[in-house]
Amino acid sequence: MSIYDLTFRTKTGEEKSLSEYRGKVLLIVNTASKCGFTPQYEELQRLYERYNDKGLEILAFPSNQFMNQEPGTDDEIQQFCQLNYGVTFPVLPKTDVKGENKHPIFEYLTEQAPGALGTKAIKWNFTKFLINRTGDSVKRFSPQTKPSTMITEIEQMLQQ
């Protein structure tokens, strides 16, 4: 199985395959609007503006699984991200990133890139997964890792 075998639902409800991102560097993030890490949206947007034309794509998957920090509707989440952070990268519908209804994308990512001490669970909002252009290398970053500190890894993957 490859990351490119997986699909997700867009904000308009259509099923989209990750195979459409083949040849791109992907940054997949589980997000929330009422979290202490929410200001990371600003840095994510800056990364997107700086590297999108070089091949970086960012996909935000809001989740309400951590202390109900994403309580809004999908439309409210979209508005919040655009009005407060000027987000132009895809912010997708709310998604389960852990538990029995965990989305297959997060099942795959947590298998490929376990966290500290080998744990596969996502512990909090703004866990980040960076995937190379061929989809075969996944690097995991903790919620505390600011997107701006990931530039070296992003640039390395973009040059591959």
**Catalytic residue positions, numbered:** 35
SS3 129: strand
Output the CA–CA distances (angstroms, integers) from residue 13 to 5, 7, 125, 159, in the order listed: 19, 12, 23, 33
User: Is residue 61 a contact partner of residue 97, using CB atoms and an 8 Å limit?
Assistant: yes
Strand stretches in the chain, DSSP E = 7-9, 15-17, 25-31, 56-62, 128-131, 138-141
